[in-house]
Amino acid sequence: MKNRNDLPSTFNLRSLILAAVPAYVFPALMSFTSGFFLQKNELMSASYTSIGLSSLLSTVVSFIILWQFESRQILAQNKLLRSVLIVMLMISLGMACSTLLNLQSERFNITFSAFLGAAILTIRQQIKKS
């Protein structure tokens, strides 16, 4: 028997896909388009690798963290603090990954894309309060 006090979670596969697809497509499309018009091949190739992928990974990891925050009711009341913590974590992970993988030339792209992916998701995604 279902408990009527349990609200369904906003975190499911559908909402993950709805967050992840734009997180990859839009940064990749924007950077590819600007690289095309500026005739910069390195920007066009970075658009679907370091820019799109880092935004996608940041969004997926942020989604999982927010899902855990909702299930454990961590920072459910304070959206600003929750967003700032997750965004700072994603920026740190982006910088750490670019350092560990020796991608110093792509550090800005990776870090900024991680910031965008995390910021957009944490601002848009709601957490249900119990």
pLDDT band at 3 (very low <50, low <70, confident <90, very high): low
% of the chain residues with pLDDT over 70: 93
Which amino acid type is present at position 12?
N
| Tens-digit pLDDT profile for residues 65-81 | 999 998 888 888 888 99
The full DSSP string for 66-120 is HHHHHHHTSSSS-HHHHHHHHHHHHHHHHHHHHHHTT-GGGHHHHHHHHHHHHHH
pLDDT of residue 1: 46
For residues 42 and 40, what is the distance between their CA atoms, to the nearest angstrom?
6
Q: What sign has the CA pseudo-torsion 78, 71, 95, 39? A: negative
